[in-house]
Amino acid sequence: MKTCALLFSGGLDSVSLAILLERQGLGGLEVLPVYMAHRPGGNVTKKELEAAGPLAEEITGHELLIVKAKPKGNDDWYRKLGQVCYSRRLPVSKANKKRRNRTFLKVAKDLGLDQCDRIALGVFGPSANANVPEADVCYDQLVKRTPWLKRGQLVTFESMGIFDKTAMLKAVGRGALNRGRVYASESCLMYFNTHCGECISCHQRADAFMEAWGQDKTRYRKGTYADRRKRRRR
């Protein structure tokens, strides 16, 4: 069976990519979810992990591999949410997508994940769609900067012919099982109990759901852009 290491944050993009990879593999592709912690500790990472861990196992059948910086104190709670290993390359800011994706590929090689048949990143290539952040790295740039990658080893949305979140959600489809999984994803950059509704990730999330599915069941803070957006028709 072929293996695929997937950068899995529990966000909308990585959850959608995991679903698409599982579907594409049809039982012949074993997806290994890898969470790369962007802070050495604290509630920010813990909240994200509490969402990512169960989703990763539900979709892929594998426990989350958590890669993080070595702690200054006790970090036993991480082990309740997945397997833990350490990297001197971390933490790396979640907001810096270019550096985060390049760092993940370096960490993957450090851990021997370069031996996987596929390595997957939920990033989009160049697009005229204003909802796609310019910080996302295109496929050719990633391959050029990572000489150890074999031909066809890297998988991104771009390599799958998907260039924005709307197309991604259309590809995932509105089946009851997948719909529940993508709504359970964590997109917000502010880490409140509910999505803040005003950060760029919440804006993109609401727009994509409404454009792709015509509805959005995400809980946003009342009165915010995303909350108003989901109440309007396409």
Domain ranges of the chain: 2-166, 187-230
Cα angle, residue 157 at apex, residues 153 and 142 outer, rounded to 5°: 50
Residues 6+ apart with CB under 8 A from 197: 206, 220, 221, 223, 224, 225, 226, 227
21 in helix, strand or coil? helix
pLDDT of residue 41: 58
**pLDDT the model gives residue 132:** 44
> CB-hemisphere CA count at 13 Å for 91?
13
The arrangement of secondary structure in 2-166, i.e. its CATH architecture, is 3-Layer(aba) Sandwich (3.40)
**Residue 32: exposure state from Cβ atoms within 10 A (0-12, 13-18, ≥19):** buried
Within 10 Å of residue 195's Cβ, how many Cβ atoms?
A: 24
Quote the pLDDT of residue 24: 79
The list of the chain residues with pLDDT below 70 reads 25-27, 40-44, 94-97, 126-137, 191, 233-234
* Three-state secondary-structure class, residue 77: helix
DSSP state of 113: G
pLDDT tens digits for 90-111? Answer: 887 766 667 788 889 999 999 9
Cα angle: 8, vertex 205, 233; to 5 degrees: 150
The whole-number pLDDT of residue 165 equals: 95
Q: Which two tokens stand for residue 210?
A: 């409404």
Tokens of 126: 């160049």
CA dist 32 and 125 (Å) reads: 23
Give the torsion sign (CA, 120, 115, 52, 141): negative
pLDDT of the residue at 134: 47
Length of the chain: 234
Mean pLDDT of the chain: 87
Angle between helices 43-60 and 176-183 in degrees, nearest 10: 170
Is 7 in contact with 122 (CB distance < 8 Å)?
A: yes
Measure Cα distances from 226 to 30, 37, 76, 171 in Å: 35, 27, 36, 22
* Residue whose pair of structure tokens reads 């295109």 in the numeric block: 138
